Structure 1
Amino acid sequence: MFQEGISQAAVKPRTHHKLRTTKNRRVLISITNALLGILVPVALLIIWEVAGALNILNPILLPAPSDILEELISLAQSGELASHFGISAYRALLGFLLGGGLGLAAGIWVGFSYSAERLLDPSLQMLRTLPHLAIAPLFILWFGFGETSKILLIAKGSFFPLYVNAFLGIRSVDSKLFDVARVLQFSRWDLITKLIIPASLPNIFLGVRLSIGVAWLGLVVAEMMGSSSGIGYLINDARSFSLTTVVFSGIIVFALIGKGSDSLVRWLEKRMLKWQDSYQGGGRS
């Protein structure tokens, strides 16, 4: 008994040391990944700034990063940027919720029903290929220059990524899982909620990420085609006056909010799909 107590006491420090080493390794890997992620952008910004300082670049066509940053700060301090951004965010969110929600529902329905697939999928696939720029004039003609045409244009773009990925996610569920469900005597409701939907969540989350990206693209088209407010309008108005720093400021805002929304969905995906065991590009962090 005494020897066993000594052995257990010796194992505990070793276990704590191993856990601490693993945690430190994960932190080091995270820091390394973050540094690698910003290495290329920082290098490009330095080269760009140096080229601007040496007058190699035309400041009207391609202003230096410091000038763009100064303009961005000025727009933020004046409140103009926040005002336009609030309007754009409202349009993008509403369009995404409308189009993405309908796309998810349609993808689940078509995924579960072969009859619905034969009825709807050919038409939806044809509509999916229509570009925003071709549809935008019709939307303005039908619904005017108000909010309705903008939100519907964003919804049109957000619909298809979620539709396609929800449909593929359901159809790509491993058939062996259905054998397990049959052995466990799952009801149809249990089959849907405990097997099919969870197994298709990776595809659905991918569809959400793509839909959010397309929503911002649709927003730019909608606001540049006919609008008196929003980041897209700010960019288009600045372009007509050759205010390139303002154009770049609007682009930076779109890039930051797009990256932020994508990172949020990825974080939610990791939290909800902890059970997923997939290849991580050479090792887990």
Structure 2
Amino acid sequence: MAIDERNRATAARRPEDSGRRAAALPRVAVSVEGRSTVDRRRSGAVSRRRRLAHIGLGALLPIAILALWQAASTFGWIPAYRLPTPESLVVAAIDLGERGLLGLYIAISTQRVLIGFAIGAIIGLVLGAIVGLSRLADGALAPTIGALRAVPSLAWAPLLLLYLGFGEDSKVVLIAIGAAFPVYTTVAGALRHVDRQLVELGRAYGYTGVSLLTTVQLPAIVPAVVSGLRLALAQAWLFLVAAELVGSSMGLGFLLIESQNNGRIDRLFLAIVLLAILGKTTDALVGLLEKRLLKRWG
């Protein structure tokens, strides 16, 4: 009898216990969700602090250079006709800006670089894919392309001026030549080392030719492609200066040579600083593209 009464009491408590557990489940879920939200916020805060620390660390050297520059010009360590003060660069920038030349020169040079870079990147990607995927093309094209890559930028300029004149075409083509080779080199080298098992798996799914390249092989070499693009962009700015030094009446390269001829050391340094800023800005934009591509295909 005592055992039966205990069993009936236990059975009576089970619905009550089940109800309590069911009522506790939403509270547990809310608690877990709250902890995950807190963890995400903490992770985001840590990530932001790391980014700020990284930016601050990268700014140390430019600040140190600027301070040393200011000290050298203030205390006369280097004559003013050889090293202008940082303030004189600001004055020169304001003067050119008021005359409408500074923005014009920056816009023209940036446009030339972007157009030439885009053309060169496409050419380099196509040639790199052909050479990287075909042993026949590698044997036939790679030696000649390697020889052309060794030609200095200033050696191309007179030839392009002879055939294309002093207009925009010669400058854009010269920049495209400079941008094509880094992309070609990285793409061709990366495609040669794509995992063969990955390629065979793509073929097993029915991918061949261009579809195999765009679906399997190119996503596998995204880091190498982006690295080539960053190198190509740096080359594009180098070849821009060569193009504008030889035959141009506008642009930052023209500002360099004009400042040298007129003895305007302040404008010469200003052009160099602007080229550095623009080069770093465009490189940072490609870096953002790299993060997006790696997030999708990396």
What is the CA distance between 1:194 and its match in structure 2?
Answer: 1.6
Structure having the higher helix fraction is 2
Pick from 138, 153, 161 the counterpart of residue 132 of structure 1. Answer: 153
1:100 and 1:159 in contact (8 A); partners too: yes
For 2:182 and 2:219, how far apart are their aligned partners in 1? 18
Query: In the alignment, which residue of structure 1 is the partner of 2:171?
Result: 150
Query: In the alignment, which residue of structure 2 is the partner of 1:280?
Result: none
- The count of residues paired between Structure 1 and Structure 2 equals 277
Tell me, what secondary structure is at the counterpart of 2:169?
A: helix
What is the CA distance between 1:206 and its match in structure 2?
Answer: 1.5
For 2:166 and 2:211, how far apart are their aligned partners in 1? 47
Pairs within 5 Å for 1:1-285? 1-275=22-296
Tell me the amino acid that sits aligned with residue 98 of structure 1. I
Larger Rg belongs to: 2
The 1:104/1:190 distance shift into structure 2, 3 A limit, reads: closer
For 1:62 and 1:98, how far apart are their aligned partners in 2? 38
Q: Deviations over 1:98-152 (max 9, x none)?
A: 3222121111122221111111110000110111122222332333333332222
Tell me the amino acid that sits aligned with residue 67 of structure 1. S
Query: In the alignment, which residue of structure 1 is the partner of 2:19?
Result: none
- Normalised by the length of structure 1, the TM-score is 0.90
For 1:178 and 1:29, how far apart are their aligned partners in 2? 38
Residue ranges of structure 1 left out of the alignment (5+ in a row): 278-285
For 1:75 and 1:148, how far apart are their aligned partners in 2? 26
Tell me, what secondary structure is at the counterpart of 1:7?
A: helix
Tell me the amino acid that sits aligned with residue 75 of structure 1. L
- Normalised by the length of structure 2, the TM-score is 0.86
What is the CA distance between 1:68 and its match in structure 2?
Answer: 1.3
For 1:243 and 1:186, how far apart are their aligned partners in 2? 60
Residue ranges of structure 2 left out of the alignment (5+ in a row): 1-21
What is the CA distance between 1:43 and its match in structure 2?
Answer: 1.5
What is the CA distance between 1:171 and its match in structure 2?
Answer: 1.5
What is the CA distance between 1:73 and its match in structure 2?
Answer: 2.5
Query: CA RMSD for the aligned pairs?
Result: 1.9
Tell me, what secondary structure is at the counterpart of 1:39?
A: helix
Query: In the alignment, which residue of structure 2 is the partner of 1:283?
Result: none
For 2:204 and 2:126, how far apart are their aligned partners in 1? 29
Please identify, of 27-36 and 225-234, the stretch whose mean Cα deviation from structure 2 is larger.
225-234
Tell me the amino acid that sits aligned with residue 90 of structure 2. L
The 1:22/1:145 distance shift into structure 2, 3 A limit, reads: same
What is the CA distance between 1:34 and its match in structure 2?
Answer: 0.8
For 2:118 and 2:37, how far apart are their aligned partners in 1? 47
